[in-house]
A and B are shown apart, each in its own frame.
Chain A
Amino acid sequence: MLDFKQNYFSLFGLPETFDIDFTTLGSAFRELQAKYHPDRFVDANDKDRLVAIQTTGFINEANETLRSSRLRARYLLKLAGVDFDDEVDTTSDGVFLMHQMEIREALEEVGNAQDPLARIDDLAQEISGEADALKDDFVDQLAAKNLDAAKEAVLKMKFFERLCQQSKQITEQLEDDLF
């Protein structure tokens, strides 16, 4: 039976770092799935089938956590002893929040631009550039053991995740309207 206590990185044989090799993750994920998936237990008793569901559930959860940069960063902090719920916890960096509002307003006004599609492309690029900078910041802060600053970076990633979704929705909407 799989050890549910082990950390997600060791589950997939990966080093405990932010920058991971997705190819290794992908093949390790598949190997584990091939071994533990409920489809391998169609013949087993109810208990073993339930265990198979829970085991693959654990593997899937681990995979999704490591695939997302924000969840991976949060998980690294958890391993370092900083556990928090980013649904509740949030950043109080006033300058950052102000900047967020500016971007959001810019997104809302895209429709008024002369070439809305070009405008949204620019904004999306700006957003992903800033999100990448946050990731670099997180890696630096974690390496320097500045855990509070690293946590701050993760909280801010959440905002960028929403901005990315929003800009994607707007792009789709614009394309729909043009079609």
Chain B
Amino acid sequence: MALFQISEPGETTSIDAQGKQLAAGIDLGTTNSLVATVRATSIHEGDGDNRRAETLADETGESLLPSVVRYCENGKIEVGKIAKNVQLDDINNTISSAKRLLGRAVGDIKTLGGSLPYNFSDADSNVPKIQTIAGNVTAIEVSAEILKTLKNRAEDSLGGPLKGVVITVPAYFDEAQRQATKDAARLADLNVFRLLNEPTAAAVAYGLDQKNELDERIIAVYDLGGGTFDISILKLNKGVFEVMATGGDSALGGDDFDHAIATWILQESDSDLTHHAMSEARRVKEALTNKDNVNVSLESWQSTLSRAQFDKLVASLVKKTLLACRRALRDAGLSKEQVHDVVMVGGSTRMPVIREQVAVFFDKPPLVDIDPDKVVAIGAALQADVLAGNKPDEEMLLLDVIPLSLGLETYGGLVEKVISRNTTIPIARAQEFTTFKDNQTAMTIHILQGERETVEENRSLAKFALKGIPPMVAGAARIKVTFQVDADGLLNVEAEEETTGIKSNIAVKPSYGLTDTEIEGMIRDSMDNAKADMEARRLREQLVEADRTLEALDSAMKTDADKMLNEDEVTLLLEARSKLHDIKENSQDSVEVKLATKHMEKVAEFYVARRMNDNVKTAMQGQSVSDFADTDN
């Protein structure tokens, strides 16, 4: 044991009063983020470990930091509640749910786009950029602002710089999303000990990794947050956490339960005060956690909602989550009876109906002792404490497996797996390939992630060329491709022609010290998405667009065709309509559908203009009120 610590002059120390290294766990969430640490709580008489994991609160005593960042005109950046409070007034410059965009390509975003109120920059970049009054920002930068705020909170509270952090990510996060999370941490000047899967962190918080009475433990982590639901099935075997299956619904959360109550309030009170109904619904939902009946009021209308009534209102939502649980179990090849522990995560699991139904489904009471909002951050803090070396006698070692197989494109658009899923990491593995043409001097190394057999069905991670292969007959060159995956699941690939020693490599993982432009360049490389994947997505989007156009036309014509159109015009519109309808039903080509939709819109332009002139004010007012009511929660 050292009697004193030597520190560099001018450097504040990363050590606390007990001589422990300062470390923290960060839960970087979609709706809220938290930071937690392990530290001495109160001074006890006698010895014994009085260090505990606890979340750190801001100056107002609030642990939850809303994951909302606002960019102001004067260059100021606001994070958390202050940004969330003005979100509706400054919707374009206030970014929430940035986590949904992390590690996504521009093409991916379009599928999410409908629900996001931001303006994406058209700049030539595959990394989506959100236009704000202070310039374009990426989801990585937005996340970095949240991390910086939490870092400052932790350092203020602990009285020194953090030696390192553990950041949690969803178990289903792929390589690009994990990399983006690490990049955000780098921008926030954080040293990342490790990325940890969120469900694993929750299991660690409950000490499930310390229970050795079973060789193998199956743990279900039920995570119902504000806007997302995740179910993860983990297998714990002597400290090795294996993610056996994940599932859920990225558009189901506590907000939907509020909606259910709000809808009931609006019906019962015969009112259309959506906004007020939503805030009343939230209050009622929370009050019902501890009471059997709650008074409900909306202006002059008054009533009571019983828990039994509430349970009925939300029964279909609860059932949806249980169906996802059933599916995840099936994916894992397990039955409900094989699950040893059920861990509850996310504020919405406070609802008694959720706890009851989950207990019935798994036939055992779920673990609820730790605050479900904080449990992930607490698990991350425990792991950070061990990694910082504060528990030299601690045996805890979490081994992760890669969630998806990694492979290479081979001849014929097929994928050869180099490292299969559920392989314990870190791992390095080499595979030999050869040229398939005489005098072939270059070879493209295309790295893919996923379980399917063809390139189109997997996610493309990166592509690079090995050049300068000396001319040889087909099959004579010996090209060794080495995959190396580190403990965070990040990949490095190297290709070498063995007869000449010509090498080429790509760090799908950027090394430290790179500029942001370089990071971005690399992310762009790693996002070179599978073409077919994107085409399929584009087609789906265009079909939705076509449907929308057809519906709009139908409803307009139903309302006022007789007043506004003559017979020729009706024929013209109906012809264009049937053309678009035919293409929509039969086409496999997104461009064709898009052109047909545009054509339809063009033909209908005169009609739209006529209707607008006639009816401009009412149409616009009706639109904006209902739109805002829906997104306001």
Which residues of A does B touch, CB under 8 Å?
A: 26-27, 30, 33-34, 37-40, 42-43, 53-54, 56-58, 60-61, 63-64, 85, 175, 179
Check A53/B388 contact, CB under 8 A, given A37-B397, A60-B425.
no
Q: In the bound complex, do residue A57 and residue B484 qualify as a contact, i.e. CB atoms below 8 Å apart?
A: yes
| Distance A71 CA – B426 CA, assembled complex (angstroms) | 19
Q: How far is the CB of A2 from chain B (nearest CB, A)?
A: 14
Q: A53-B428, A85-B432 are in contact. List 9 more A-B contacts (CB 8 A).
A: A27-B238, A33-B397, A33-B399, A37-B399, A39-B487, A43-B389, A53-B426, A60-B425, A63-B424
Would you list the 10 A-B pairs with minimal beta carbon distance, nearest first? Answer: A57-B428, A38-B487, A53-B426, A60-B424, A42-B193, A60-B427, A56-B426, A57-B426, A42-B387, A57-B427
Q: How far is the CB of A146 from chain B (nearest CB, A)?
A: 28
Interface residues of B in 336-388 (CB under 8 A from A): 386-388
User: What bracket does the count of chain B residues touching chain A fall in?
Assistant: 20 to 34
| Distance A48 CA – B487 CA, assembled complex (angstroms) | 14
Any A CB within 8 A of the CB of B423: yes
| Distance A42 CA – B384 CA, assembled complex (angstroms) | 10
**For residue B487, which residue of chain A has the nearest CB?**
A38
Any A CB within 8 A of the CB of B610: no
Q: Name 25 interchain pairs, CB-CB below 8 A, sorted by A.
A: A27-B238, A30-B238, A30-B397, A34-B395, A34-B397, A37-B397, A37-B399, A38-B426, A39-B194, A39-B397, A39-B487, A40-B397, A42-B193, A42-B194, A42-B387, A42-B388, A43-B389, A53-B486, A53-B487, A54-B428, A60-B424, A61-B428, A63-B424, A85-B432, A175-B330
> In the complex, which of the residues B239, B386, B423 contacts A60, with contact meaning CB atoms closer than 8 Å?
B423
**B residues in contact with A179, CB < 8 Å:** 330
Interface residues of B in 390-435 (CB under 8 A from A): 395, 397-399, 423-429, 432
| Distance A56 CA – B398 CA, assembled complex (angstroms) | 13
| Distance A63 CA – B237 CA, assembled complex (angstroms) | 14
Q: How far is the CB of A90 from chain B (nearest CB, A)?
A: 16
Interface residues of B in 143-198 (CB under 8 A from A): 163-164, 193-194
Q: In the bound complex, do residue B193 and residue A39 qualify as a contact, i.e. CB atoms below 8 Å apart?
A: yes
| Distance A179 CA – B426 CA, assembled complex (angstroms) | 38
**A residues in contact with B238, CB < 8 Å:** 26-27, 30
Q: How far is the CB of B422 from chain A (nearest CB, A)?
A: 10
Q: Is the interface of A mostly helix, strand, loop or mixed?
A: helix
Q: How far is the CB of A175 from chain B (nearest CB, A)?
A: 7
**For residue A54, which residue of chain B has the nearest CB?**
B428
**B residues in contact with A57, CB < 8 Å:** 426-428, 484
Q: How far is the CB of B21 from chain A (nearest CB, A)?
A: 9
Interface centre among B399, B426, B428, B429 (most CB of A within 10 A): B426
| Distance A60 CA – B398 CA, assembled complex (angstroms) | 14
**A residues in contact with B163, CB < 8 Å:** 43
Q: In the bound complex, do residue A30 and residue B427 qualify as a contact, i.e. CB atoms below 8 Å apart?
A: no
**B residues in contact with A34, CB < 8 Å:** 395, 397
| Distance A54 CA – B423 CA, assembled complex (angstroms) | 15
| Distance A34 CA – B386 CA, assembled complex (angstroms) | 12
**For residue B511, which residue of chain A has the nearest CB?**
A46
Q: How far is the CB of A35 from chain B (nearest CB, A)?
A: 10
| Distance A39 CA – B426 CA, assembled complex (angstroms) | 11
**B residues in contact with A37, CB < 8 Å:** 397, 399, 487
| Distance A175 CA – B329 CA, assembled complex (angstroms) | 13
| Distance A60 CA – B194 CA, assembled complex (angstroms) | 19
| Distance A39 CA – B330 CA, assembled complex (angstroms) | 33
**B residues in contact with A53, CB < 8 Å:** 426, 428, 484, 486-487
**For residue B420, which residue of chain A has the nearest CB?**
A64
**A residues in contact with B387, CB < 8 Å:** 39, 42
**For residue A176, which residue of chain B has the nearest CB?**
B330
Q: How far is the CB of A163 from chain B (nearest CB, A)?
A: 17
**For residue A38, which residue of chain B has the nearest CB?**
B487
| Distance A63 CA – B238 CA, assembled complex (angstroms) | 14
Q: In the bound complex, do residue B429 and residue A61 qualify as a contact, i.e. CB atoms below 8 Å apart?
A: yes
| Distance A42 CA – B399 CA, assembled complex (angstroms) | 15
Interface centre among A30, A42, A58, A85 (most CB of B within 10 A): A42
| Distance A30 CA – B423 CA, assembled complex (angstroms) | 15
**B residues in contact with A43, CB < 8 Å:** 163, 389
**A residues in contact with B428, CB < 8 Å:** 53-54, 57-58, 61
> In the complex, which of the residues B164, B389, B427 contacts A61, with contact meaning CB atoms closer than 8 Å?
B427
Contact with A along B209-242 (1 / 0, CB 8 A): 0000000000000000000000000000111000
**For residue A57, which residue of chain B has the nearest CB?**
B428
**B residues in contact with A61, CB < 8 Å:** 427-429
| Distance A98 CA – B238 CA, assembled complex (angstroms) | 43
| Distance A63 CA – B193 CA, assembled complex (angstroms) | 25
**For residue A58, which residue of chain B has the nearest CB?**
B428
**A residues in contact with B388, CB < 8 Å:** 42
Contact with A along B469-491 (1 / 0, CB 8 A): 00000000000000010110000
Q: How far is the CB of A41 from chain B (nearest CB, A)?
A: 10
**A residues in contact with B424, CB < 8 Å:** 60, 63-64
Q: How far is the CB of A78 from chain B (nearest CB, A)?
A: 15
> In the complex, which of the residues A40, A60, A85 contacts B426, with contact meaning CB atoms closer than 8 Å?
A60
| Distance A63 CA – B401 CA, assembled complex (angstroms) | 13
> In the complex, which of the residues B237, B386, B429, B486 contacts A38, with contact meaning CB atoms closer than 8 Å?
B486
Q: How far is the CB of B217 from chain A (nearest CB, A)?
A: 14
**A residues in contact with B330, CB < 8 Å:** 175, 179
Q: How far is the CB of A150 from chain B (nearest CB, A)?
A: 24
Q: How far is the CB of B429 from chain A (nearest CB, A)?
A: 7
Interface centre among B194, B386, B399 (most CB of A within 10 A): B399
**B residues in contact with A60, CB < 8 Å:** 423-427
**A residues in contact with B398, CB < 8 Å:** 39
**A residues in contact with B194, CB < 8 Å:** 39, 42
| Distance A54 CA – B487 CA, assembled complex (angstroms) | 11
Q: How far is the CB of A104 from chain B (nearest CB, A)?
A: 16
Q: In the bound complex, do residue A64 and residue B426 qualify as a contact, i.e. CB atoms below 8 Å apart?
A: no
Q: In the bound complex, do residue A64 and residue B389 qualify as a contact, i.e. CB atoms below 8 Å apart?
A: no
**For residue B425, which residue of chain A has the nearest CB?**
A60
Check A42/B164 contact, CB under 8 A, given A33-B397, A34-B395, A34-B397.
yes
**B residues in contact with A39, CB < 8 Å:** 193-194, 386-387, 397-398, 487
Q: How far is the CB of B20 from chain A (nearest CB, A)?
A: 14
| Distance A53 CA – B387 CA, assembled complex (angstroms) | 15
